[in-house]
Amino acid sequence: MADLPPPVQGPTAKEKKYDRQLRLWGANGQIALENAHILLLNSGPGVVGIETLKNLVLPGIGNFTIQDSSIVSDADLGVNFFLEEEHLGGYRAELACNLLKELNPDVDGHFITEPIETWLLNPDALRPYTLILATAPLRPEILARLSDHASAASVPLFHIHSVGFYSHFSVHLPPAYPIVDTHPDLETTQDLRLLQPWPELVHFAQEKTANIDSMAPEDHGHIPYIALLVHFLEEWKKSHAGKVPENYKEKTEFRTMVSKAARTNNPEGGEENFDEAVAAVLKSLNPPQPSSAVKEVFKTKECLLVREDSPSFWVIANAIGLFYTKYNVLPVPGSVPDMKARSADYIQLQNVYKSKARKDLAEVVESVRFLERNANRTTVIDEKDIEAFCKNAAHIKLVRGRPFLVVLPSEKIKWGDRAKTIAQSLTFPDSLIPLYIAFLAWDKFTATHEKDGLGGAPHVPGTSDPDTDATKLTGIAFTIADDLVKEAGASIDKDEYAAIKTQIGEFANELVRAGGAELHNIGALTGGMVSQEVIKVITEQYVPVDNTCVFDGIRSKSMVINV
Amino acid sequence: MDNKVEDSTQEDVKGIAGPEVVSRARWKYLDNFLTRPGPFTDPEAFDPGEAAIAGLERNKILVIGAGGLGCEILKNLALSGFKDIHVIDMDTIDVSNLNRQFLFRAADVGSYKAEVAAKFVEKRVKGVKITPYCGKIQDKDEDYYMQFGMIVCGLDSIEARRWINATLVGMVDETNPDSMKPLIDGGTEGFKGQARVVLPSMTSCIECQLDMHAPRAAVPLCTLATIPRQPQHCIEWAHIIAWEEHRKDDTLDTDDPEHITWLYQRALSRAKEFNIEGVTYSMTQGVVKNIIPAIASTNAIVAASCCNEAFKIATNTNPFLGYPEKDNYMMYTGDDSVYTYTFEHQKKDDCPVCGSGNIARPLTINPNTTLQDFIDGLAERPEAQLKNPAIRTGEKSLWMQLASLQEQLRPNLDKKMTELVEEGEELTITDKSFPTQFKYKVVFSK
Ligand SMILES: [Zn+2]
């Protein structure tokens, strides 16, 4: 026991409580959550917003605030889990806030019961919040005001519908929303540079495959497959004018060549390391070209023109862009998959990759420092951030956030540069664009109908006269569809268009059937989806929806639409 | 809390089933669907109004699991208008549950999940009755399961899923339509999950879909013993080899911090010896306990999807997943934008649980493997996943689980499969974890 390390510090109480999520977004993601203050503008039955908050309070967001001026009614008790019988007649915002706070003592909750119309008159009302959730029905001028704020303050804004069996949400992200830590699936995306090995890797392969034919069986069966592939690629090049296998046919031939080199005169009838080499041929022998989306990032104006106040993402992106221009490859990420190999050989191979990655990183760091000096930047970017960027350079993502559609009572919807694509995908089988159109119509209906002309609560379709409302809503939806097709200049086959209109009509009818009701299940499901998106947006990890998602709870299908 | 007020409310709501009609003001939203037909409702199946409401309230429903999914499921069913809910879970509450199992508080740590969850939802949603059972699903027999209209599963164990699936398929009596209990099952991992509906004997069952949830391949013992390369290899070595060697007489308790610390330190020094980096306490815990990352959001999505289907099945307010020859499976992926894939998983003729006859599934075996290798591999083969198999051919037993009988069969373990069975021969495999016989037809590779 003498050689055991000293006693360990076990996990802290917080690490224990959050263990299952820290394994996903790590300490950095958790800190980002704890610094967030989320505002929920709640309206309608109000379930989807509260369920979203539940899923954010549990993992420990810092603060939340609920704005809601409604009073708890009997109907709330049948659909909202965070209200109790004795709350009847009280403020929904206050009581739900209290019950949500019980879920996690680390979270601070606040509430506002002032009606949104007057509360928003204060120009600073929205200032404290880092992310805003707004649930329908909301008056269009309020939604427009929120959208302006989201643009001006670069605050992510979500607009959410949960109506009966259907739901929708749209997110308005800042115009440049870059993500480094996208969590790609490493098994399918590892970049091993086998087609462009650097001298140290070639040397490693030569060392491990020297005298490969006369090697003892034990040794032969433990050559790391990466060394095998580099070795056989050299062999291949000898008989192919110095070229590596380029197309599918050549790769298959190459694979056969590797496969034939395995020894089969052993009890197992084969060698695992050769099996691994064979399996890796098709997925690993690709030129290490970055995707066009990544190359696009290097060409954006934010990347090309680094300023004193550019976010560090652009400074690093510029430096990596320089690296790419110079070498025509990205920095080596530096990780190696596990493979059949002896411990020492594998560690040696790992070090070959790690030291190349360090070398590439050093070059990028140097460029970053140069850019920092040039742009007179006062803060120095942490080398850890540059390293993380280099490691995941092939998988970075840039989302171009933009305002979602706000339906105004007396204006046509303007689809702009998205009109064509959306009109085209109207006709795709299983397209849920007809459902999205029905939701837009629902907003239009709500914007043009008021409850008893009181000027307060909007009147949603289907509350009292479903038949009349269904006819109206369907009519509005048809007009939206016609306008879309017109704006796109699309020509859709007559029968096909009739079928699409039938679908729109069905979706509209089902929305009217709800009469503005939320079903708890759909509110909970949509709250789960939205909270996943909120977590992705706050932690700047994984890839968020860009920018609209609709869910059909009858067929259990969803669709993401870039509006 | 004023108990009297609570009691009188309870009585009022219970009155719904009796002649006294109480206000349904609370169910205003739900009633829009229970009393109005929609464009997709089947007029033959959906009778809006009183009948639909009564049908829902009569439906006795069983929830298996009161963890991350189970908490959500209980809440969702109570707010979907179900009145008589039962819940089974054998576990007690751990502090690491609190980041998502929202019916539990720090003060509940150590109590039974089923009990705490049932009490909480009953208190919050007036008029619902939730009956907990703190134990295993295997404790209960067919008579017990027969009382329910439907079963919703939120489990993290594939074994328990297979057991309840086989039990429900076995209960189907073609002359009695009530014996077919729809099974709705959810599962999650990180930002991903799935929800599926099985109509036992009619549609693809959990066993038909077994190969969609292949277990992670175990690291070969010789790698752990002689050529570790990854931090996980060092941890598995400490877990499987070092513990046996040094602390044989202590039963390893993965919840005991002292035990985890011991394993961590062993793994760390082994890693040092081989120049392997990256062993941490948290990784040790993850490997040893086989921890799957879990968050509230994903549980919410999958549980609500399951309950949405349960509600549609119970009420016919809209078409549901699992209708024969329609979609029965939804996959949800939330880590890269949002992607759902909803499809019909086809029933398999050679399914050992719901297959048409007793068709043997082909099982490819490397002719060089020994019976021991074959048994070890069975746990990992996606189409089998059997950990404690007893194996026989038409004529003889090759291996049994009963210790007294193993002695006699032990010499078989080192024999090659080619010495024990012939190409095309049928193997019958049983495993005490399942009430099913698995029949395979031997196919030797190459
Ligand atoms: Zn089956």
Burial class of residue A455 (count of CB atoms within 10 Å of its CB; 0-12, 13-18, 19+) = exposed
Distance (angstroms) between ligand 1 centre and the Cα of B343 equals: 16
Size of chain B, expressed as the number of residues it contains: 446
List of chain A residues whose C-beta atoms are within 8 Å of the C-beta of residue B99: 17-21, 58-60
Distance (angstroms) between ligand 1 centre and the Cα of B354 equals: 4
Q: Nearest-CA neighbor of B279 among B239, B218, B240, B235?
A: B235
CB distance B336–A182 less than 8 Å? yes
Distance (angstroms) between ligand 1 centre and the Cα of B353 equals: 5
Please give the residue of chain A at the shortest CA–CA distance from B255.
Answer: A16
Sequence-distant (≥ 6) Cβ neighbours of residue B192 within 8 angstroms: B298, B331, B332, B333, B334, B335
User: What is the dotted CATH code of the domain comprising B221-288?
Assistant: 1.10.10.520
Distance (angstroms) between ligand 1 centre and the Cα of B202 equals: 9
Output the average pLDDT for chain A. Answer: 94
Beta-ladder partners of A166: A163, A552
pLDDT one-digit tens code per residue, A511-533: 999 999 999 999 999 999 999 99
Q: Nearest-CA neighbor of B154 among B125, B120, B195?
A: B195
Please give the residue of chain B at the shortest CA–CA distance from A560.
Answer: B338
The CATH architecture one would assign to domain A13-174+521-561 is 3-Layer(aba) Sandwich (3.40)
Distance (angstroms) between ligand 1 centre and the Cα of A184 equals: 34
Q: Are A409 and A138 in contact (CB under 8 A)?
A: no
pLDDT of res. B23: 76
DSSP B20: P
Q: Nearest-CA neighbor of B187 among B163, B158, B211, B219?
A: B158
Would you list the DSSP string of A73-137?
-HHHHTT-TT--GGGTTSBHHHHHHHHHHTT-TT-EEEEE-S-HHHHTTSTTTTTT-SEEEEESS
DSSP A322: H
pLDDT one-digit tens code per residue, B230-254: 999 999 999 999 999 999 999 999 9
Candidate from A103, A517, A532 with C-beta closest to B191 = A532
Apex B353 CA angle, B348 and B358, nearest 5: 75
pLDDT one-digit tens code per residue, B189-225: 999 999 999 999 999 999 999 988 877 888 888 999 9
**Residues whose Cβ atom is located within 5 A of ion ligand 1:** B 205, 207-208, 351, 353-354
CB distance A519–B264 less than 8 Å? no
Burial class of residue B86 (count of CB atoms within 10 Å of its CB; 0-12, 13-18, 19+) = buried
CB distance B337–A518 less than 8 Å? no
Candidate from B275, B291, B337 with C-beta closest to A23 = B291
CB distance B99–A525 less than 8 Å? no
CB distance A556–B330 less than 8 Å? yes
List, as ranges, residues 363-382 from B with C-beta within 8 Å of A: 366-368
Apex A455 CA angle, A451 and A461, nearest 5: 30
Identify from B1, B29, B365 which residue to disrupt to test chain A contact, counting A C-beta atoms within 10 A and taking the largest count. Answer: B29
Report the gap between the CA of B393 and the closest CA in chain A (Å). Answer: 24
**Residue B331 contacts A where some CB pair is shorter than 8 Å:** no
SS3 B147: coil
Q: Are A198 and A422 in contact (CB under 8 A)?
A: no
pLDDT score of A1 more than 50: no
Q: Which residues of chain B have pLDDT under 70?
A: 1-22, 357, 446
Distance (angstroms) between ligand 1 centre and the Cα of B352 equals: 7
List of chain B residues whose C-beta atoms are within 8 Å of the C-beta of residue A163: none
Query: What type of residue is A498?
Result: A
Candidate from B27, B76, B368 with C-beta closest to A267 = B368
CA A171, chain centre distance (Å): 11
Candidate from B6, B126, B297 with C-beta closest to A528 = B297
List of chain B residues whose C-beta atoms are within 8 Å of the C-beta of residue A347: 229, 274-276
Beta-ladder partners of B92: B112
pLDDT of res. B10: 40
pLDDT of res. B406: 87
CA atoms of A143 and B84, how far apart (whole Å): 42
Residue A327: how many other CB atoms lie within 10 Å: 13
- Helices A494-514 and B28-35 pack at an angle, to 10 degrees, of 130
pLDDT score of A458 more than 70: yes
B75-78: long-range contacts, CB 8 A cutoff, minimum separation 24: B75/A81, B75/A520, B75/A524, B75/B103, B75/B121, B75/B124, B75/B125, B76/A520, B76/A521, B76/A524, B76/B303, B76/B304, B76/B307, B77/B152, B77/B307, B77/B310, B78/B121, B78/B124, B78/B125, B78/B128, B78/B130
β-pairing, B84-88 vs B129-133, is: parallel
CB distance B32–A343 less than 8 Å? no
Q: Spell out the domain ranges in chain A.
A: 13-174+521-561, 192-286, 288-399, 416-515
Please give the residue of chain A at the shortest CA–CA distance from B120.
Answer: A81
pLDDT one-digit tens code per residue, A481-514: 999 999 999 999 999 999 999 999 999 999 999 9
**Residue B23 contacts A where some CB pair is shorter than 8 Å:** yes
Q: Nearest-CA neighbor of A74 among A84, A62, A63, A60?
A: A84
Cα–Cα distance list, A110 to A46, A53, A296, A367, A444 (Å) = 16, 12, 42, 46, 32
List, as ranges, residues 194-213 from B with C-beta within 8 Å of A: 195
CA atoms of A532 and B296, how far apart (whole Å): 9
- Residue at token pair 């392997």: B276
A461: confidence class by pLDDT, cuts 50, 70, 90: very high
CB distance A519–B297 less than 8 Å? no
CB distance A513–B286 less than 8 Å? no
DSSP A394: G
Would you list the DSSP string of B245-302?
HH-TTSPP-TT-HHHHHHHHHHHHHHHHHTT-----HHHHHHHHTT-----HHHHHHH
List the catalytic residues of B: 222
Write out the two tokens for A7.
Answer: 């006693």
Assigned fold of B50-214+293-343 = Rossmann fold (3.40.50)
Task: Provide, rounded to the nearest whole percent, the portion of chain A with pLDDT above 90.
Answer: 90
pLDDT one-digit tens code per residue, A280-335: 998 888 888 889 999 999 999 999 999 999 999 999 999 999 999 999 999 999 99
Question: What ipTM does this complex have?
Answer: 0.95
Assess if CATH 2.60.120.460 describes domain B361-444: no
pLDDT score of A431 more than 50: yes
CA A427, chain centre distance (Å): 26
